[in-house]
Amino acid sequence: MYDVIILGSGPAGWTAAIYCGRANKKTLVLTGPSLGGQTGEIAKLENYPGWNGSGMELILFMKNQAESFGAKTESASAQNINFNPDGTYTVVCDNGKTFDSRTVILATGASARRLDIDGARELFGHGVSYCATCDGFFYSGRDVLVIGGGNTALNDALYLADVAKNVKIIYRKSEFFRAEAVLRDRVAAKENIECIYNTELKSVEQKPDSDKLIATTTGGDKIECDGIFVAIGHEANTDYLSEDIKRDEIGRIAPESLPSGMFVAGDVESNIKMQVATAVGTGCSAAMDAIQYLNSKE
């Protein structure tokens, strides 16, 4: 029996693990499908105070710190969570294992929203990607598109500009309203990045007898490229939870809807900014609430 099981291995999860470990609570972190989640995919993390490395470097630093205070890890994802008659929880994992705990902290984060156009699903992994740092090296010296206009899209474009020959950013609005000014300036300074505004894609298909793609816009224009990288927002990872837990329009959890002994932190929590600094703060808060709850039961 664990005191705390933490679902997720992003900044929120590891922060919670550090606090719970320091409070001498028996803690288990289920790392999920990829260590670090979205943060682990950031090539250069510049907006978290005191850090100037990659996202994965930060995650590994946090992981080592949590483990130094006794936190255990398991490479697994929760499939469902059962509330037991004695007030404890049983977490059923995708690797066939089950773990019991007195409390659970949900820190499963969010995943990239899929591009809902003809051909996108069929070409996923064959030219259509949702992770520039994962797949960018396949497109060295080639032509790529980036779909989106927020910080993630511009960061992806800047990363790809150092790998690919040419990068075109396709954005449905007239300018990058949501992206930080420093990123807009960097994009504007890159000679091999072209911004195409007021444009949306209608479909994508494989060019006949070629490994290239043809992206067709809603206006009927056709853009030939080698790869498409999608950055159009995120949806919370909450499929393992029952439907009676309240969620917002992108699936994020309302803390007040959670049963006793269950807490939430990071990008999966509703009404917070989806940033590393915010994730750390909510991870701290969730851990302290869980510790207080456990201490009240002793």
Catalytic residue numbers, as ranges = 131, 134-135
Q: For helices 276-297 and 11-22, what crossing angle results, to 10°?
A: 30
Cβ–Cβ < 8 Å for 7, 275: no
Show contacts of 39-43: CB within 8 Å, 24+ apart: 39/10, 39/11, 39/276, 39/279, 40/10, 41/131, 41/132, 41/133, 41/134, 42/133, 42/155, 43/133, 43/155, 43/159
**Which residues make Cβ contacts (< 8 Å) with residue 224, sequence separation at least 6?**
143, 207, 212, 213, 214, 215
**CA 249/CA 237 separation, integer angstroms:** 13
3-class DSSP assignment, residue 280: helix
